[in-house]
């Protein structure tokens, strides 16, 4: 997966609600490693499913983004979670 592409896609599609790995809609369910682990989202497979199909307040992006793009976003999210969202 291409995390550089994932970063650009994240900025364009996700940062409105998830800036800096946070969550402006549901503050408990951030993209930080601890929250991803707590809510069983700390895997590319889980993130890809959530981004593709949406859940709750989060819209589905499977119509707007290609599978490869969603894989890149998932790789970027995991990379950032592992690095504490410092970049």
The answer to whether 53 is annotated as binding is: no
The radius of gyration computed from the CA coordinates of the chain, to the nearest angstrom, equals: 11
CA 52 to chain centre: 11
The answer to whether 6 is annotated as binding is: no
The answer to whether 18 is annotated as binding is: yes
The answer to whether 17 is annotated as binding is: yes
Annotation: binding site for heme c? 14, 17-18, 58
Q: Which residues are annotated as a binding site?
A: 14, 17-18, 58
């Amino acid at each position: 997966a291409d995390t550089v592409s994932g970063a650009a896609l994240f900025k364009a599609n996700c940062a409105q609600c998830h800036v800096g790995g946070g969550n402006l809609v549901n503050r408990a369910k951030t993209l930080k490693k601890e929250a991803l682990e707590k809510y069983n989202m700390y895997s590319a497979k889980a993130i890809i499913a959530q981004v593709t199909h949406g859940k709750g307040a989060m819209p589905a992006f499977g119509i707007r983004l290609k599978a490869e793009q969603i894989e890149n976003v998932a790789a970027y999210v995991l990379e950032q979670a592992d690095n504490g969202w410092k970049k």
